[in-house]
Structure 1
Amino acid sequence: MNHSIQIRQMKSEDIEVVCEVFTEHGINKPKEYVHTYWEENEKGDRITLLAFYNGQFAGSLHFLKKSSYPYFSENNIPEINDFNVIEPLKRLGIGNRLMDAAEQIAKEQYGIVGIGVGMHFYYGPAQRIYAKRGYIPDGKGVTYHHQEVMPGTMVYADDDLVLYMTKNLK
């Protein structure tokens, strides 16, 4: 059977299906959040890429032209952010196709791209994918709420404990 993966930029009419599918699969993306990132797309601050598998919405990622992570922001490094593929469609190449599209945008406009990944077990598959794709740590260590974690500091191993990495696309 030949399966089809399409990647394209989000349109306003996609808001409902994104919310519905993410909710069905336990990915917490409230409608207000989706509307906010759609508005950022309209302003040109963000590019939201959507993946469709055999015509059905399968996942998304965001390309932030200006990262909220200080090191990326100060060094004009765009960020791949909020990357999700719904569970039944993982390991079909959808995530890699989304990453390919985001990296192509970054290559054309910046020559480099950054990404952050959580440090607990839930993010293990993402950590492996990013390493296989050539991302390397930015040398700043792990961060918590975008701030470098200093030796001896106590932090929670939650979604805000992040290692940021970059990939040179030149």
Structure 2
Amino acid sequence: MNEQAVIRPMTSSDVKLVYEALEREQISKPRAYVERCGEENEAGARVTLLALYKGRFAGWLHLLPVSKYPPFAAEGIPEINNFDVVPSLRRIGIGSALMDAVEKLAFGRGDIVGIGVGLYASYGSAQRMYARRGYIPDGKGVMYANTPVVPGEAVRVDDELVLYMTKRKQADKD
């Protein structure tokens, strides 16, 4: 990644910076959500990593030590969650650097990490990135709001329609 980029943990003092940058970039996140992320980082319920490029907000993602997806929670699998990179700064390695950093954190805690990805076209780049990084479906099928979609059932295609995937830690090579 470009050496003008920095990845660092979010602090509660970053709330204004993050919210204003997301608004400016038309990445829709309620201020209350950004504030909650700051609070959860302080409490240890979430780890949010920020990417700054040339000193300006370039993206963020989160690691939830306790996933809200029941199968991950039951198995103690931390979940990578809510991944955004500023559109004008995509394709220069910021997303990969964020993923490298969050996977390092996750694999410092255990041997497996999970992630959910939406199923419509806006998630296409993420779907391809996760596959290239070695994520595979968890085998539980498509979920809507963390509930299995039953064959023949009609569901809304929105951000709640998700396929969850996992990645196992690679054995260190000497």
Q: Is TM > 0.5 for Structure 1 vs Structure 2?
A: yes
Deviation by residue 1:42-79 (Cα, 9 ceiling, x = unmatched): 11110000001111110000100001101100000000
Map 1:81-160 onto structure 2 (within 5 A): 81-160=81-160
- Secondary structure of the 2:143 match is strand
Contiguous gaps of at least 5 residues in structure 2: none
Aligned-pair CA distance for 1:3: 4.9
CA RMSD after TM alignment: 1.0
**For residue 17 of structure 2, what is the aligned residue in structure 1?**
17
Tell me how far apart the structure 2 counterparts of residues 15 and 42 of structure 1 sit (CA, whole Å). 12
| Contact residue 3 and residue 54 of structure 1 kept, 8 A | no
Tell me how far apart the structure 2 counterparts of residues 17 and 29 of structure 1 sit (CA, whole Å). 13
Aligned-pair CA distance for 1:169: 1.1
Tell me the TM-score normalized by structure 1.
0.96
Aligned-pair CA distance for 1:38: 1.0
Aligned length: 169
Segments ≥4 residues shifted beyond 4 Å: none
Aligned-pair CA distance for 1:156: 1.1
Say whether residues 1:43 and 2:43 are aligned partners: yes
**For residue 6 of structure 1, what is the aligned residue in structure 2?**
6
Say whether residues 1:52 and 2:21 are aligned partners: no
Contiguous gaps of at least 5 residues in structure 1: none
Tell me how far apart the structure 2 counterparts of residues 38 and 11 of structure 1 sit (CA, whole Å). 6
Tell me the TM-score normalized by structure 2.
0.94
- Secondary structure of the 1:109 match is coil
| Contact residue 119 and residue 163 of structure 1 kept, 8 A | yes
User: Which amino acid in structure 2 is aligned with residue 47 of structure 1?
Assistant: V
Tell me how far apart the structure 1 counterparts of residues 108 and 13 of structure 2 sit (CA, whole Å). 27
Tell me how far apart the structure 2 counterparts of residues 44 and 68 of structure 1 sit (CA, whole Å). 15
